[in-house]
Structure 1
Amino acid sequence: MTPELRSERLALSAYATADEADFVALFQDEAVGRWFGDGMQSAAEDRALFGRIFDLVYAEERFPVWAVRHEGRYVGHAEIKPSPETWLDGHEIVYGLTRQTWGLGLGTELARLLTSYGHESLGLTEVHATVDSENTASLALLKRLGYTQAREVPEENGRTTLLLTSRLQGPPHGSSPRVG
């Protein structure tokens, strides 16, 4: 269910149990973890989340979830999944990279790889991303990749989530994900 994907510098593969400490460290880094889901959680909650990847997502083959590696080292998390949001019918990409890799262009490479996988391998005409309106780096990255803002969603906490969409128009273009 979770195929291996490769880009020029990144290798995406299913998580191994040995990745738990790196996963938890990524989600516990406030600069990264604040943008995932409902924001920062305790380390125990992140360990439980990691366990659910194996117990639910992989066991029930729900959707692909990847450990992201650069030069053989864990550098991030990625997924493409049916949106849990009632106001969004479709699939969305989720990604995050360690702070140490910021500024190297790996975020753009990762989002491009996930978007290509959605369009080309899953056959999706639309691939979505939901992003906190204050996450300017992710918003700029997605707009560079051709995502357009489709909707603003006010949240109960006073924040705003933006729905961005990549629409496949004509034949796929760009570098396709290398599976395998």
Structure 2
Amino acid sequence: MTPELRSERLSLSPYVASDEADFVALFQDEAVGRWFGDGIQSAAEDQALFGRILDLIYPEERFPVWAVRHEGRYVGHAEVKPSPETWLDGTEIVYGLTRDSWGLGLGTELARLLTAYGHETLGLAEVHATVDSENAPSLAVLTRLGYVRAREIPEEDGKVTLHLTSRIPASPVAP
């Protein structure tokens, strides 16, 4: 279910057991991990999450989850998955890159690849993303790719999550 994807500089492939240390390091990096889900968790929780990807998500073909590589080196994590949020009935992209890969345009390239996979391969008219309102780099990437704000979701901790959507333009109706 998780196909290999390629862009000009990135290759996305299913995780393998030897990726665990890189995965945990990515999620444990405060500058990166704080934007994922509920934020930084313990290393043991991230190891358990990695185990669920290999032992549950892949075997049950729940949704695609990828290790992201640039020039053969692990640089990030990506998913295209059904949203767990009840207010968002659809599929969302999730991605994060290692700190040392920032500033190279890889975030835009990765988000473009995931969005295209959603629209073109999965045939989705809408692809969603949820982003902390303070995550300016990710918001800039998604805006650059044509995502538009659908709503603001106030969180219990006072923060705001933004729901953004990429829509395939409607085809013109023939006269």
TM-score (ref. length: structure 2)? 0.96
TM-superposed deviation, 1:84: 0.2
Aligned residue for 2:81, secondary structure, equals strand
TM-superposed deviation, 1:170: 4.6
Aligned residue for 1:77, secondary structure, equals strand
TM-superposed deviation, 1:156: 1.1
Aligned partner of 1:175 in structure 2 is none
Aligned partner of 1:110 in structure 2 is 110
CA distance in 2, matches of 1:64, 1:56: 12
TM-superposed deviation, 1:158: 1.1
Aligned residue for 1:151, secondary structure, equals strand
Aligned residue for 1:163, secondary structure, equals strand
TM-superposed deviation, 1:54: 1.2
Count of aligned pairs? 171
Aligned residue for 2:50, secondary structure, equals helix
TM-superposed deviation, 1:96: 0.2
CA distance in 1, matches of 2:56, 2:82: 14
Question: Deviation string for 1:118-156 (max 9, x for gaps)?
Answer: 000000000000000000110011000000000000111
Which structure 2 residues correspond to residues 17-166 of structure 1 after superposition, within 5 A?
Answer: 17-166=17-166
CA distance in 2, matches of 1:70, 1:131: 24
By relative contact order (CA 8 Å, sep 6+), the higher-ranking structure is 1
Structure 1 runs not aligned, ≥5 long? 172-180
Aligned residue for 2:134, secondary structure, equals coil
CA distance in 2, matches of 1:166, 1:46: 29
CA distance in 1, matches of 2:152, 2:54: 33
One-letter amino acid of the structure 1 residue matched with residue 39 of structure 2: G
One-letter amino acid of the structure 1 residue matched with residue 129 of structure 2: A
Aligned residue for 1:149, secondary structure, equals strand
Which structure 2 residues correspond to residues 5-24 of structure 1 after superposition, within 5 A?
Answer: 5-24=5-24
Which structure 2 residues correspond to residues 164-175 of structure 1 after superposition, within 5 A?
Answer: 164-170=164-170
One-letter amino acid of the structure 2 residue matched with residue 140 of structure 1: A
